[in-house]
Amino acid sequence: MHLKSVCVLGNGQLGRMLKQAGEPLGIALFPVGVDQDPTMIPYENSVITAEIERWADTPFTQILAKHPHFINRDIFPLIADRLTQKELLDELNLPTAKWHLLTNEWADHFANLGDLLIVKRRTGGYDGRGQWRITKNEIREIPAEIYQQAIVEEAVPFDSEISLVGARSHDGKTVFYPLTNNLQQEGILKMSVVLPAENLAMQQKAEMMLSKIMDRLQYVGVMAMECFVVGDELIINELAPRVHNSGHWTQNGASISQFELHLRAILDLPMVKPVVTSPSVMVNLIGTPLNYSWLTNPLVHLHWYDKEVRAGRKVGHLNLTHHDRALLIEALDSLTLPTEQYQTAIAWAKTKL
Q: Quick one: what does residue 278 bind among ligand ATP, Mg ion, none, with the CB cut-off 5 to 8 Å set by partner type?
A: none
> Does 226 engage in binding with ligand ATP (CB under 6 A)?
yes
| Strand 188-194 to 280-286 pairing | antiparallel
Sequence letter at residue 315: V
Gyration radius (Cα) of the chain, Å: 20
| Stretch touching ligand ATP by CB under 6 A, among 52-60, 123-131, 317-325, 329-337 | 123-131
* Distance of alpha carbon 75 from alpha carbon 218, whole angstroms: 9
| Strand 28-32 to 5-9 pairing | parallel
| Stretch touching ligand ATP by CB under 6 A, among 105-113, 184-192, 247-255, 300-308 | 184-192
Q: Quick one: what does residue 305 bind among Mg ion, ligand ATP, none, with the CB cut-off 5 to 8 Å set by partner type?
A: none
Q: How far is CA 249 from the centre of its chain?
A: 12
> Does 153 engage in binding with ligand ATP (CB under 6 A)?
yes
Residues 179-238, interacting with Mg ion (CB under 5 A): 226
Residue 193, number of CB atoms within 10 A of its CB: 22
Residue 274, number of CB atoms within 10 A of its CB: 20
x/- contact string, 39-58, with ligand ATP (CB under 6 A)? --------------------
For Mg ion, the closer CB: 184 or 341: 184
x/- contact string, 82-111, with ligand ATP (CB under 6 A)? ---------------x--------------
> Does 128 engage in binding with ligand ATP (CB under 6 A)?
yes
Q: Which DSSP string do the residues of 300-330 spell out, in sequence order?
A: EEEEE------TT-EEEEEEEE-S-HHHHHH
Q: Which DSSP string do the residues of 194-235 spell out, in sequence order?
A: E-TTS-HHHHHHHHHHHHHHHHHHT--EEEEEEEEEETTEEE
Q: How far is the CB of 162 from Mg ion (least distance, A)?
A: 12
Q: How far is the CB of 298 from ligand ATP (least distance, A)?
A: 30
Q: What is the DSSP letter of 311?
A: T
Strands (DSSP E) contained in 13-110 are 28-32, 47-50, 99-101
Q: Which of 79, 156, 214, 261 binds ligand ATP (CB under 6 A)?
A: 156
Q: How far is the CB of 27 from ligand ATP (least distance, A)?
A: 27
Q: In what order do the strands lie in the sheet with 47-50?
A: 28-32, 5-9, 47-50
Closest CA to 280 of 179, 184, 132, 158: 179
Q: Quick one: what does residue 81 bind among ligand ATP, Mg ion, none, with the CB cut-off 5 to 8 Å set by partner type?
A: none
* Distance of alpha carbon 206 from alpha carbon 211, whole angstroms: 8
| Stretch touching ligand ATP by CB under 6 A, among 86-94, 183-191, 312-320, 325-333 | 183-191
Q: Which of 184, 199, 211, 344 binds ligand ATP (CB under 6 A)?
A: 184
Residues 230-269, interacting with ligand ATP (CB under 6 A): 237-238
> Does 225 engage in binding with ligand ATP (CB under 6 A)?
no
Residues that contact Mg ion, how many (by CB under 5 A): 1
Q: How far is CA 76 from the centre of its chain?
A: 14
Q: Quick one: what does residue 118 bind among ligand ATP, Mg ion, none, with the CB cut-off 5 to 8 Å set by partner type?
A: ligand ATP
Q: How far is the CB of 247 from ligand ATP (least distance, A)?
A: 12
CB 316 within 8 A of CB 295: no
Q: Quick one: what does residue 260 bind among ligand ATP, Mg ion, none, with the CB cut-off 5 to 8 Å set by partner type?
A: none
List the end-to-end C-alpha distance of the chain, in Å, as a whole number. Answer: 45
For Mg ion, the closer CB: 53 or 226: 226
Q: Quick one: what does residue 127 bind among Mg ion, ligand ATP, none, with the CB cut-off 5 to 8 Å set by partner type?
A: ligand ATP
> Does 118 engage in binding with ligand ATP (CB under 6 A)?
yes
Closest CA to 313 of 286, 283, 276, 348: 286
CB 30 within 8 A of CB 51: no
Applying CB under 5 A, the residues found at the interface with Mg ion are: 226
Applying CB under 6 A, the residues found at the interface with ligand ATP are: 97, 118, 120, 125-128, 153, 155-156, 161, 184, 187-189, 226, 237-238
